Amino acid sequence: MQHLTYQTLDGTSASLSPEEIDALSQGIRGGVLTATDEEYEQARSVWNGMVDHHPALIARCLGTQDVRHAVDFARTHRMLLSVRGGGHHIAGNAVADGALTIDLSAMRNVRVDPEKQTARVAAGALLGDVDHETQAFGLATPLGINSTTGVAGLCLGGGFGWLTRKLGMTVDNLISADIVTADGELRIVSATQEPELFWAIRGGGGNFGVVTSFEFQLHPIGPQVYAGLVVYPYAQAKEVLRAWRDFNAGAPRELSVWAVLRQAPPLPFLPESIHGKEVVVFALVYSGDPKQGERLAAKVLKFGEPAGSMLGTQPYAGFQTAFDPLLTPGARNYWKSHNFIEITDALIDMVIRGATSLPGPECEVFIAQLGGAAGEVAVTDTAYAGRDANFVMNVHGRWQAAEDDDKVRDWARGVFRDTAPFATGGGYINFLTEDEGNRVDSAYAQNYARLQQIKQQFDPENLFRINQNIAPAPLARTA
């Protein structure tokens, strides 16, 4: 083996000897990959096909001691470091050119305590792994809407999904976590142990260390829920979106109804005449009594004249996979998002205009409904600061060919720009792309200065910087 070049924290290049690489490998049970290894190409690939980074080394960790060894190695060699959980993040921060990637993707164990209604979730677990185990006991915690999303990244950025209005954000249900900080130490954090660090990781992303496991509070959910889709022709967009907005104002917390503007996929319950045509889709989940869910869904069916619907009682874990076919890995993705307190008529008009010019069949604008329990937590109780957001819009550019990059990104940026006057100015950190580092401080609002101070305490050299980065506070500010 020859010397290996890598990128340092100082922005320069340095090299590792074969002996140094072997020393790292000896401490990683899953082994270490370089570009010469057959599995390297698969290991460096992530969900967003636009990301094409080549780490110098990939440490395939199987447990906390592997992570500690890798962190110590990166710190000692001042080596650029990235951390991969599910590899699903839009910005592709799981991998970086010339870096040491700590790969947690093999750590997928989920252990449920049905009596305490808690789950211990390893850092490489996907949403589907958690749902599979927890739903066996009729339990769940608020997660996302795509079963292949990594739990770690979702949670560390805040986390929301169908259950958020009833049960809060993912971070609101985090009881404790195991985290390896930049000094290589394992810390168990909770409301009573290292409370400042616990506060920071509940929304502060991967800035403070490598979380190797999470303990979540579970709640009785399902296993059957009332859920499905109602699809309206685009000609009715203004009418049905206003009806949706008004309906949401009085909807119970057990019900979440999200609006999606996109071209109709060839679903069997839709007439062929609208396949590929712009439509408004309402996706809903009612997590209480399915009979009450059916009664509420009937009102969604009266927003206008539906082109088709698919509603019924079904397994919660099954509906969590409903959108997986639209979110498969490998496509090119570019997102822009806003938080909104309210949906005004003028905002609806602007969203309709933006979705009228969709640049491709996989692009969409969706508006997720939040509020409820998520909005009752004080802004300063967790690092996640978007408590005033009753709605989150994501302008989701998704396409296959590189020659369409500019077209799709220009469209997404245009919709983002046109809807900005209606937004809070904050943002959801998990939806920020690689070119939105300037939005990080506004996403954290008044919590940003505190996060910088905690960053200075636990990672003063900014070892964990391949993320939506929170810069350490100057030493003078922490005196």
> Which CATH class name applies to 4-103?
alpha beta
Q: Are 260 and 396 in contact (CB under 8 A)?
A: no
pLDDT for residue 401 is more than 50: yes
pLDDT of residue 429: 95
User: Which pTM was predicted?
Assistant: 0.96
**Each residue's pLDDT tens digit, 164-173:** 999 999 999 9
pLDDT of residue 1: 64
Which single residue is written with the structure tokens 């938080």? 339
What is the C-alpha R_g of the chain? Answer: 22
Instruction: State the average pLDDT over residues 100-115.
Output: 98
Nearest of 73, 72, 225 to residue 135 by alpha carbon: 225
Cis peptide bond prior to 223, omega within 30° of 0: yes
The domains of the chain are located at 4-103, 110-220, 224-437
Strand 210-217 versus strand 81-84 pairing type: unpaired
**Each residue's pLDDT tens digit, 439-458:** 999 999 999 999 999 999 99
Q: Are 146 and 324 in contact (CB under 8 A)?
A: yes
Q: Which CATH architecture has domain 110-220?
A: 2-Layer Sandwich (3.30)
Element (H, E) at 262: strand 255-263
**Separation between Cα atoms, residue 386 and residue 426, nearest integer Å:** 7
Instruction: State the average pLDDT over residues 221-230.
Output: 97
Cis peptide bond prior to 18, omega within 30° of 0: no
Instruction: State the average pLDDT over residues 287-312.
Output: 97
pLDDT of residue 195: 98
Task: Tell me yes or no: is domain 224-437 CATH 3.40.462.20.
Answer: yes
**Each residue's pLDDT tens digit, 324-375:** 999 999 999 999 999 999 999 999 999 999 999 999 999 999 999 999 999 9
